[in-house]
Amino acid sequence: MSPITVIICIAAYFAALLLIGRLAARGSSDSTFFTGDRRAPWPIVAVAMVGAAISGVTFISVPGMVAAKGYAYLQMVLGFIVGYIVIAAVLVPLFYRKGLVSIYGYLGERFGSGSYRAGAWLFIISKMTGAAVRFFVVCAVIQLLVCDPLGVPFEANVAATLMLVWLYTAGGGVKSLIWTDFLKSLCLVGSVGLCIWFVASRLGIGLPDIPAAVSAHPTARIFYFDNPMEATYFWKQFVAGIFMAIATNGLDQDMMQRHLACTDSVASRKNMIVSGVMQFFVIGLFLVLGTLLLLYADVAGIERPERSDDLFGLVASHSEMPAIVGILFIIGLVAAAYSAAGSALTSLTTSMTVDILRAPERMQPSGVTATRRMVHIAMTAVMALVIIAFYHISNDDAISAVYTLASYTYGPILGLFAFGLASKRRVADRFVPAVCIAAPILSWLTQWGLRELFGYSTGFELLLINAAITMLGLTTASSSGTITVNTPQANVAESL
C-alpha cells in the first residue's frame, strides 16, 4: 500500500472528525465540554460506547490472539456484561443523584479532599500512560507505512496527529466525543465486517458458509473449564471481566463521562447495558476475522508472525489481497486509535481542571474556560512527550509494564469506591494517599512472593489483590462513627 493511499485515508477520516467536532461545538460551553449538557440520546451513546471500548491495540491484537487462546476472550467479555449491569445498578444512580461532573468527586464527599485528589491523580497517571502507549502502537504503524518512506521523523508524525486530535475535541468536549465515537463504531464494525467478507471470498467461502467454516477450525473454542491453573480458565476470565469492567468503565472518568451525558440515570443505565451486549457481538466479529486470517495465511503460504499482533496487517497488505482490504485496515485502525486519543485528552482535561485545579469552584466562568483550554493544550503536549519517549525506549517488556500499570493504578480506585459504598466507617482522610501508594507496592511484593515461593503466575487477579489491600488499609485507618461529609466538588455542576 502506497504512503499516498494511507495519507488520503487518514485525511478523509480526520475531515469527518473535524466536521463533526465543529458541529458539536456550536453554542458550546464548559458544561458542554465536561458533561455534554446532559442531553445526549442514550441509543447514540450506546453505539458510541462500543467504539469507545475498542482501542487501536484491540483492533490489532484481538484477531491475532485466536492462534494461541482461541475465543477465550469472550469469557471475559461475558464478565464485562455482568460488570456493566453492576455499574448501571449501583454507580450510575449514585453519580446522577450527586450531580457529579467528575466521578472522583464522590471520594471527596465520602472521605475528604485527600482521597478525592488521590483518586484523580491515579486516574490521570493511568489514563495518560495507557492512552499514550495505545496511540504509540498506531503511530508506529503510520511511521512504517507513511513517514519513513517520506523521510518524516517520528516526532513530526506525533505532533501532527495529536494536533488534529486536539482540534476536533477543543470545542465540543464530551459532546464531540459521543458523536465522533458513534462514527468510530460504524467505521470499526463496517471495516471488520467487510474484511471478513473479502477474506472469506478469497478463501472461496460464501457468506452463508462462514459460520460452519469458522466453527470447524480448532481456534473457535470459547469455553475453557478443564484446567484452573491456566489463564484461559473460564471462572478466572469471567470474574476478572466483571471487576475489570467495573474498574476501567464505572470508575474511569474517560468512560463514565459519556454515560453521564445522558438525560437522566434511567437513560444512562439503558445505554450501559445495551452497549455491553453489543460489545460482545463486535468482539465476536474480531475473533471470527482472526480465524479467517489464519486460514488465509495457511492457504497463501504466509508464515505466521512471531508477534500475533502483526497477523492482521500482514494479511491485509498481502500482494494477493485486494487493495480495499488494506484500506479498510487503515480506516479501522485510525478510527480506533485517534478517537481513543481524543477521548483520553478530554477526560484528562476534565479531571485536571475540575479535580486537581478545582477551577469551577475557584473561578468565574470566563476563568474556567481559559483554564480548561490551557489544560487541554498542556495534556496534549504531555501525551506527545510520553509517546515520543516510548518510541525511543520501547521494547516488549516496557510496553507490557505500562499495561500492567493499569492493574496497579485502578486497584486503589476500586478499593476506595468499594469501601466507601460497602462501609459506613469514618476514615482518617490524611492517611488515604499513603494507603493508595502502599497498596500497589504491597501488591507487587505479593505477586513476586507468589511467583518465587509457589510458582504461581498472577494475572488479572492482581487488580483484586490491589483493591483488597487498599480496603484493608482503609479499615486500619478508620473508626466507627458518623461520616463527616467533605464536599470539595459540591456545587461544581451548578456552577457550570
What is the spatial distance between Cα 21 and Cα 458, in angstroms, rounded to a whole number?
Answer: 42
What is the spatial distance between Cα 450 and Cα 454, in angstroms, rounded to a whole number?
Answer: 5
Confidence (pLDDT) at 471: 93
Q: Give the list of residues 6+ apart from residue 15 with CB closer than 8 angstroms, or none.
A: none
Signed CA dihedral, 273, 128, 419, 111: sign only: negative
Confidence (pLDDT) at 37: 55
Confidence (pLDDT) at 399: 44
Spatial contact of 394 and 450, defined as CB atoms under 8 Å apart = no
What is the spatial distance between Cα 229 and Cα 168, in angstroms, rounded to a whole number?
Answer: 47
Confidence (pLDDT) at 487: 46
Counted residue by residue, the chain has a size of 496
Collapsing DSSP states into helix, strand and coil, what is residue 427? strand
Write out pLDDT tens, residues 107-125. Answer: 888 888 888 888 888 888 8
What is the spatial distance between Cα 398 and Cα 141, in angstroms, rounded to a whole number?
Answer: 18
Instruction: Count CB neighbours of 481 within 10 A.
Output: 9
Which three cell numbers, joined as nine digits, stand for 335? 478510527
Confidence (pLDDT) at 435: 92
Q: What is the DSSP letter of 426?
A: E
Q: Label each residue of 134-165 as H, E or C.
A: HHHHHHHHHHHHHHHHHCCCHHHHHHHHHHHH
Write out pLDDT tens, residues 400-433. Answer: 555 567 778 888 988 999 998 888 888 888 899 9
Collapsing DSSP states into helix, strand and coil, what is residue 40? strand
- Longest CA–CA span in the chain (Å) reads 72
What is the spatial distance between Cα 425 and Cα 11, in angstroms, rounded to a whole number?
Answer: 55
Instruction: Count CB neighbours of 362 within 10 A.
Output: 11
**What is the distance, to the nearest Å, from the Cα of residue 288 to the centroid of all Cα atoms in its chain?**
22
Kindly give the parts of the chain with pLDDT less than 50.
Answer: 396-399, 484-496
| Nearest residue to 51 (alpha-carbon basis) of 334, 345, 379 | 334
Confidence (pLDDT) at 495: 46
Please provide the CATH number assigned to the domain covering 3-394.
1.20.1730.10
Whole-prediction pTM: 0.74
Collapsing DSSP states into helix, strand and coil, what is residue 106? helix
Which three cell numbers, joined as nine digits, stand for 157? 508524525
Confidence (pLDDT) at 3: 74
Spatial contact of 34 and 354, defined as CB atoms under 8 Å apart = yes
The type of residue at 265 is: S
Residue whose entry in the numeric block shows the C-alpha cell 518512506: 149
Which three cell numbers, joined as nine digits, stand for 87? 455499574
Distance set, CA 107 to CA 4, 259, 366 (Å): 50, 19, 27
Domain ranges (residues) in the chain: 3-394, 401-484
What is the spatial distance between Cα 460 and Cα 237, in angstroms, rounded to a whole number?
Answer: 8
